[in-house]
A and B are shown apart, each in its own frame.
Chain A
């Protein structure tokens, strides 16, 4: 068993209200930044999991996201391995 570290990024599904993002976008325009499109805010969760290998650890984190960490009704999540040998980003809806 080894410890695997992941960074989970949770964002609101497209088309749903994100007042913080909308307000930040307006503020960026006011500051003179042109060409700023959609701005959306989310949450980052760092999580350590003990498992046989990174694939099994990742699938457990996916399950944790679906069950508790994210709300599949309104949110999507991405899981990024912070293990040195595996840094691929996977997105799951």
Chain B
């Protein structure tokens, strides 16, 4: 049960997610962005970083990397695909997830732990969590503000899976670090097999790192891969 961890020129979080996936017994395999055959892959992760230097826009060039044809094929066939941070931006640029990520409200790079509230468990990223659960996960991005022109459609379809909140789970301006519309931190697609989030669950994979709250998401993803495979 191979999970492809896709690496573009400039990706820098691949070893973190490989480590986190191994903690729950998964078999991740790092795949270079020029790969054109992902046959036999049961799931894929697009990790964080600065693919292709973030030139033009974050993810704008990466979405045309050769491997993306395979990612699009896998997504269409129901295979779980997860995008973290820069990977989330790439999935939005590719049209596999709705909306876009733009510069943070305060035009500053944000690197700090944030709180997230689970909004829906009907996704490959949150299936092992509970609705309302609050998770403390590191955020590390400049273009992290989620925007969309069709925000009501996204909300009505229950595609919002995570929102920024305070430690008690309450959303508001001060607990929304980057000004994301409706405090959206993570979303899924209509088919619910593609998900993306700006914070880094793989950086909250062990208590020695300050939090292991990210593991419920890693477990959700790996269980989803196993479920689809079975």
Contact surface of A with B, Cβ cutoff 8 Å? 12-13, 15-17, 19-20, 23, 68-69, 71, 73-74
Q: Report which of B93, B104, B149 forms a contact with A13, defined as CB distance below 8 A.
A: B149
**CB-based contact A68/B92 at 8 Å:** no
**Minimal Cβ-Cβ distance residue in A for B59:** A71
The 3 A-B pairs at the shortest CB distance, nearest first, are namely: A74-B100, A19-B105, A73-B100
Main secondary structure of the interface of B (DSSP, over half): loop
**Interfacial chain A residues near B56, Cβ < 8 Å:** 68-69
CB contact under 8 A between A73 and B92, given known A17-B145, A17-B181: yes
**Minimal Cβ-Cβ distance residue in B for A20:** B107
Contact surface of B with A, Cβ cutoff 8 Å? 56-57, 60-61, 64, 92-93, 95, 98-100, 102-107, 145, 147-149, 179, 181
**CB-based contact B107/A19 at 8 Å:** yes
**Minimal Cβ-Cβ distance residue in B for A16:** B147
C-alpha gap A19/B176 in the complex (Å): 14
**CB-based contact A71/B57 at 8 Å:** yes
Q: Report which of A19, A20, A69, A73 forms a contact with B149, defined as CB distance below 8 A.
A: A73
C-alpha gap A15/B93 in the complex (Å): 20
**CB-based contact A20/B103 at 8 Å:** yes
C-alpha gap A23/B108 in the complex (Å): 13
**CB-based contact B100/A17 at 8 Å:** no
**Interfacial chain B residues near A15, Cβ < 8 Å:** 149
CB contact under 8 A between A74 and B147, given known A68-B61, A68-B64: yes
C-alpha gap A17/B107 in the complex (Å): 12
C-alpha gap A17/B110 in the complex (Å): 18
Shortest C-beta distance, B112 to chain A (Å), equals 19
**CB-based contact A17/B105 at 8 Å:** yes
**Minimal Cβ-Cβ distance residue in B for A15:** B149
**CB-based contact A17/B147 at 8 Å:** yes
Shortest C-beta distance, A36 to chain B (Å), equals 20
**CB-based contact B149/A17 at 8 Å:** no
Q: Which of A20, A69, A73 has the most CB of B within 10 A?
A: A73
Shortest C-beta distance, A42 to chain B (Å), equals 12
**Interfacial chain A residues near B181, Cβ < 8 Å:** 17
**Interfacial chain A residues near B98, Cβ < 8 Å:** 73
Q: Report which of B95, B102, B105 forms a contact with A74, defined as CB distance below 8 A.
A: B102
C-alpha gap A91/B103 in the complex (Å): 24
C-alpha gap A16/B56 in the complex (Å): 19
**Interfacial chain A residues near B148, Cβ < 8 Å:** 73-74
Interface pairs (9), CB distance under 8 Å? A16-B147, A17-B105, A17-B147, A19-B179, A23-B107, A71-B60, A71-B100, A74-B99, A74-B147
**Interfacial chain B residues near A12, Cβ < 8 Å:** 102
**CB-based contact B149/A74 at 8 Å:** yes
**Interfacial chain A residues near B92, Cβ < 8 Å:** 73
